[in-house]
Each structure stands twice: as structure tokens, then as C-alpha cells.
A and B are shown apart, each in its own frame.
Chain A
Amino acid sequence: MSDRDTPPLPPDAAAALDADRRHPDPPDAVRAAVLARVRRSVGLPPLPGGGGGGAAAGGGTVVALKAAAGVSKTVVAALASVAAAAAVVTVVVAQRPAPAAPRPPSAPIARAVAPARRVVTAPSVVEARPSPAVEPAPIAVAVATAPRHLDASAPRDDLSDERAQLDDVRAAMRGERYGEAERALRRYRERFPRPRLAEERDFLAVRLLTARGDEAGAARRRERFRRRYPSSIYLDGLDAPAQTISP
């Protein structure tokens, strides 16, 4: 079979697909935010200006292009042509730097950031950074501490597994990979129906909903959390804005 054997689309269907070709592009802020996350995930250093670069930087950022070993002039030319569409792009390439050391999954983070760097467009969460010079901040994540509500009936061997799974959730949240965090949290629930770290799990669930902009869902879970764990060490961080970092 070949294309000659397949009847082409009728004009009305082809016109409909044309309309889809005119779908608006994602905002530059999203492009920049995703690039910054990708670079963190693969261990590349942030780009000058916060990781967006090029069009993502909003069209004013000037970046010096310096070809070096391993980067051909044609790649440099390609980069330059891409940059011309939005701005002059600067990428300094001297030698491929060593990948940045990944942040330990359960390491505490103490960093306060300016509020309102996230634009929530209901029902989707769209990341927007008005200033590309500011790194996206991890969301509030509590320091791993011994939870007060442990299910003593769970096998002790599972505890480290539980901890590791929740660390996955936390790491994804710090990287602002909320879909991944949600999947990790679901895997945790499925694997540990009677968890020993239920308190921490529920706290992370609240933080995740907050981060994703689901205020109503977060509020419901927050109330449930307060009823269930009235003396929890996590209560202080429960109401924190999505961008605030717990010590």
C-alpha cells in the first residue's frame, strides 16, 4: 500500500486541520520554565539569565555565541538564526561543564522567594516568570522527619521503601514536575495501602494541590489534615504559599 492507494482528506477535513495549525503557541514564559526544568533534570547548568534563553528570555537578552570544541560552526549558525527570531541569543560554550550535582532528594531547602511568580490559569497551571533572571523556586517541602502517626502494623522493611517513594514525590515537586509528583504519590498509595508515613503523604498531597493551583482541593485536604493530625509538625507549612520554602 502507498499514499496513492489512500484517498486524500476531503476539503472540509483538510480545512479543519489547517485551523489546528493556527493554534496559538505556548507563552514564552512556559518555554523558559520548561527549559530551566529540563536543564536541572539532565544536570546542565542554568543558562545566563535564568535558563530560558532566546525567545524565552523575552527578546532582549543578548548572549555571546562562542563556538568551541565539539560545536561546529553550522550549529553556531543555526543557533544564531534561531536567536534572530526573537533576540540575539547568548550561549557561552567553552567546554561542556560537569553536570551539576543533583540536590539530595530529602535535603532541606531554606529559601524565600518573591511571591506571585506563578500564574494560575484555571484549570491549568501555567508557569510564568516575569524576570528570567530569577530561578523558579521549589515549592514548600518539609524536612524529612520522623512522622508522629506511624502504622505499627506495617512491616519495618517497608519503611525505607516508603521513605524512598515519598522522596521521589518530593524531588519531583522541587523540580516542579507536578504530573510526575502526582504519579509518584499515586504509586505510593497503591503500594502502601497501610502506610507508616501517612502523615507525610497527606502533607505532600496538600502541597501538591496548592502548587497545581487547585485551591479548593487543597483547602479540603488541609482541613482533613488538621482534623486527623491536630499536633502535626507539618501544620506550620500547611498554609504556606506554593512558592514558600519550609526550613
Chain B
Amino acid sequence: MKPDRLPTATTDDAAFTAIYEREFTYVWHTLRRLGVPARDLPDVTHDVFVTVFRRLSTYDPSRPLRPWLFGVAFRVASDHRALARNAREQVTDRADPADDVPGADHLLHDHQERQLVRDALDALDLDRRAVLVAHEIDELPIAEMARALDVPPPTLYSRLRSAREQFVAALRRLRASRGDR
């Protein structure tokens, strides 16, 4: 899915509301994939959109919106993770109420796969996790991420490479330990 561009960016209520309505789900899932515990997602999503509102004037409307949003979400998630309490919760908090609905086999399989992905992502540090999530799941271009995260593209490519390796290794380790294959 390619990110849309917002035609204009002002600090207007309407523009902000448009962004919120269109990107709430994206921000929510991004924070979840960056390791924000389920119980904290409402609070941290709130913090992201407060930042978005206050910094909307710094957004360049000629650029795609999602990398910019990802940059904001990454920084807020990073601050959140920096707290020791939250770091501990990342290990123990497996609450995921929206996911906890038993259903047909394929739904159960999806649920298990998502849990596997989450556990494998937990094996990565936040920098690598971010580049993997943004590039592999959100399909954000490295050049746009570099701009949004203020990191040189070669550094991001390097992180992407090691993130892929670590993710695959963690995935296989977890599958082996669960007897999947």
C-alpha cells in the first residue's frame, strides 16, 4: 500500500482531523509493531497525534505523509520505551484483546503467525526493528525514511540488512522451539 500525499498541510483543525481519520490505524499499527504494549497503545497514539498537531507546520506537503508520521511515531515510541518500566512491560505484556478471538483455522493460524512476528521483532533493537517495519511491512522507501528519521540512507540499508538477518534467525529459532518446522 502506497502512502497518500496530503495536498496541503496547515495547522488547521480540518487538516489535522483529516490526517487523524485517515492515519489513525496506520499510527496504531506502527506503534504496535514498534513494540508499544497493547495497554499503552491509546496513550502513546494520543501522544503521537498531539505531536503531529503541534508540528504540522513543519511537514512538507510535497513529501509523502506516512514517512513523516512514522518518524514522529518512532520518536514517541522510543521515548516510551526508554522508560525502564515500559521496557519491562515489553517483555511481559502480551495483552492483545483485538487479536484474541478464536475462529476458523486460518484465523487461528494468522493469530499464531502474528504472535510469532511480534516475538521475532522483540529480538531486534528499536533502530533495526523500525527500519524493518517501515520498509518490509509499510513499504516506505529508504530515501523517505532517511529524511524522516534524519539518518543517512547507507546507515538505514545497513540496518535493514542486519534487521532482516536477525528477524529471520529469530523467526526460525522461535518456530523450532514451538515445533512448527
B32 at the interface (CB under 8 A from A): yes
Contacts of A15 in B (CB 8 A): 113
| CB contact under 8 A between A20 and B39, given known A42-B54, A44-B13 | no
Contact A21 B137 (CB under 8 A): yes
- Verify if B75 is at the interface (C-beta below 8 Å from A): no
Chain A window 102-130, contacts with chain B (Cβ cutoff 8 Å), 1 for yes, 0 for no: 00000000000000000001011111000
Per the 8 Å Cβ criterion, residues 1-54 of A in contact with B are 1-3, 5-10, 12-17, 19-27, 30-31, 33-35, 37-38, 41-42, 44, 47, 53-54
The distance in angstroms between the C-alpha atoms of A182 and B85, with both chains bound, is 10
- Smallest CB–CB gap between A135 and chain B, Å? 16
Tell me, in angstroms, the Cα distance from A19 to B47 when the chains sit together: 27
In whole angstroms, how far apart are the Cα atoms of A8 and B136 in the complex?
9
A121-B97, A127-B42 known; A70 and B10 CB under 8 Å?
A: yes
A residues less than 8 Å from B99 (CB atoms): 23-24
Find out whether the CB atom of A5 lies under 8 angstroms from the CB atom of B21: no
Contact B39 A19 (CB under 8 A): no
Chain A residues with Cβ below 8 Å from B54 are 42
Shortest Cβ distance from residue B105 to the other chain A in the assembled complex, whole angstroms: 13
Query: In residues 178-234 of chain A, which contact B (Cβ within 8 Å)?
Result: 178-180, 182-183, 186, 212
Contact-residue size bin, chain A (C-beta under 8 Å from the other chain) = 35 or more
B150 within 8 A of A: no
Say yes or no: B46 contacts A177, CB within 8 Å. yes
Indicate if the CB atoms of A31 and B154 lie closer than 8 Å. Answer: no
Q: B28 CB to closest chain A CB, in angstroms?
A: 5
CB contacts (< 8 Å) of A47 on chain B: these are 17
The residues of A with any CB-CB pair to B shorter than 8 Å are 1-3, 5-10, 12-17, 19-27, 30-31, 33-35, 37-38, 41-42, 44, 47, 53-56, 70-72, 74-76, 78-79, 82-83, 89, 91, 93, 96-97, 121, 123-127, 177-180, 182-183, 186, 212
Given A9-B167, A17-B117, A38-B53, 18 more pairs with CB closer than 8 A? A1-B161, A5-B157, A7-B164, A14-B136, A16-B171, A22-B110, A23-B98, A25-B98, A44-B16, A78-B6, A79-B18, A93-B12, A123-B39, A123-B95, A124-B39, A177-B46, A183-B85, A212-B39
